[in-house]
C-alpha cells in the first residue's frame, strides 16, 4: 500500500483510534467500533475513490477527456467515446423487427480502411447477425437507427448500406 494513496488514506481513516483500542483488544470480546456516520463516511470515500479510478480508466482508454474550467473539471466524450456509446446501444438493444422482416447490412470497404471492416464484422457478430456473403450480413434485431448513427460516426456512409426487407425464402 503506497503512502499517500487513496487506499492508504482510506485505511488510515478506518483505523483511526486503533492505537487507543489496541489495549482493549487484549480482551477476547473487544472489537473496534464505528458510529453509523463514520461508516457512511468510509463508504462515501470508497465510492469517490472508485469513481475517480473509473474516470481515469476512461481517460486512459481515450473515451473521455477532462477539461478544467476554474475550479471545476468537466469530462467530455471523445469521438472514440461516442463510437463506443453507439456500439453499446447496438449491443444492448433486444427489440426484434416485425415477423418476416430482416435487417441487411451490406458493405464494400476499401482495403486501406480494413480496420473499419474488421470492427464492423465483429460488431455485427456480437449483435447476433450472421454472414450471408462475405460483405452481407443479416439479422432480426431492430438496430437500424443505431446502425445508421454508427455508420455516420465512422464516416463510412459511402461503403456501408443498411436495408430492412422481407425474407421470401
Residues 76-99 have pLDDT tens digits of 989 888 888 888 888 888 899 999
Q: How many CB atoms lie within 10 A of CB 103?
A: 22
Using a 10 angstrom Cβ sphere, with 0-12 exposed, 13-18 middle and 19 or more buried, the burial of residue 143 is buried
Domain spans in the chain, listed from the N-terminal domain onward:
6-60, 79-166
Residues 57-77 have pLDDT tens digits of 999 999 999 999 999 989 898
**Which helix or strand (DSSP H or E) is residue 72 part of?**
strand 72-77
Predicted local confidence at residue 90, as pLDDT: 86
Residues 133-154 have pLDDT tens digits of 989 999 999 999 999 888 888 8
Check: CB of residue 165 under 8 Å from CB of residue 135: no
Q: Which of 125, 151, 155 is nearest to 138 (CA)?
A: 125
Q: How many CB atoms lie within 10 A of CB 41?
A: 14
Mean pLDDT calculated for residue range 156-168: 89
Q: Which of 128, 149, 150 is nearest to 139 (CA)?
A: 128
Check: CB of residue 162 under 8 Å from CB of residue 107: no
Stated pTM of the model = 0.62
Check: CB of residue 96 under 8 Å from CB of residue 140: yes
DSSP code at position 17: T
H runs (alpha helix) in the chain: 6-14, 18-24, 36-60, 79-92, 114-126, 144-154
CATH number for 79-166: choose from 1.10.3470, 1.10.260, 3.30.70, 3.40.50.
Answer: 3.30.70
Parallel/antiparallel/unpaired status of strands 64-69 and 72-77? antiparallel
Amino acid at each position: 500500500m503506497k503512502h499517500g494513496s487513496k487506499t492508504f488514506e482510506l485505511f488510515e481513516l478506518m483505523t483511526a483510534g486503533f492505537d487507543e483500542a489496541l489495549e482493549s483488544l487484549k480482551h477476547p470480546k473487544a472489537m473496534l467500533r464505528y458510529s453509523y456516520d463514520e461508516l457512511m463516511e468510509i463508504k462515501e470515500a470508497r465510492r469517490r475513490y472508485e469513481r475517480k479510478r473509473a474516470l481515469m480508466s476512461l481517460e486512459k482508454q481515450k473515451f473521455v477527456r477532462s477539461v478544467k474550467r476554474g475550479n471545476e473539471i468537466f469530462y467530455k466524450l471523445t469521438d472514440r467515446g461516442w463510437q463506443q456509446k453507439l456500439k453499446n446501444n447496438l449491443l444492448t438493444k433486444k427489440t426484434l423487427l416485425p415477423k418476416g422482416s430482416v435487417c441487411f447490412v451490406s458493405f464494400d470497404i476499401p482495403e486501406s480502411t480494413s480496420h473499419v471492416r474488421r470492427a464492423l464484422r465483429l460488431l455485427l457478430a456480437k449483435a447476433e447477425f450472421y454472414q450471408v456473403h462475405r460483405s452481407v450480413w443479416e439479422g432480426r434485431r431492430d438496430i437500424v437507427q443505431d446502425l445508421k448513427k454508427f455508420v455516420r460516426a465512422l464516416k463510412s456512409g459511402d461503403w456501408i448500406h443498411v436495408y430492412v426487407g422481407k425474407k421470401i425464402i
